Amino acid sequence: RFGASISFDQKLAKFDVIGSLAHVQMLGQTGILSLEESEKIQVGLKELLEELEAGQLDFDIANEDIHMNMEVLLTEKIGPLAGKLHTARSRNDQVATDMHLYLKEQLGHVLDKLVHLKGVLLDLAENHVETIMPGYT
């Protein structure tokens, strides 16, 4: 339990699945996996994503992190074929991709708030065009 990070990295679950979907598509398109294997893994991942979005997934602290939790859940769905998802991808690659996708989404939220703030400041300025403001240096 000391090394378990599931309590705070479960927010990466969606991005773990999205990254895995892209990875397994590549594995199928390049012939590393058969198209049939790639499709079966994609179906399992899409089911996990639907369950995640519906709040139906339970993560187990015994699996330590989000990556192992998702691997176990996928294996429960599609069997040993799930192990082929890791072909040509290290755990570090997986973590970096998850973080990149998570931060990209978070940055989008920040940008939305900045655009809103800009609008509020512009409205305030337009409403006070005639207001005299003292300036000090």
**133 against 99, higher pLDDT:** 99
For the chain, give every domain's residue range: 6-127
**Res. 4: pLDDT tops 80:** no
Q: What is the pLDDT of residues 45-78, one digit of tens each?
A: 999 999 999 999 999 988 889 999 999 999 999 9
Q: How confident is the model at residue 137 (pLDDT cuts 50, 70, 90)?
A: confident
- Is residue 12 within 8 Å of residue 102, measured between CB atoms? yes
Provide the whole-model pTM.
0.85
Token look-up 């998850």 returns 98
CATH code linked to domain 6-127 = 1.10.275.10
CA distance 134 to 25: 62
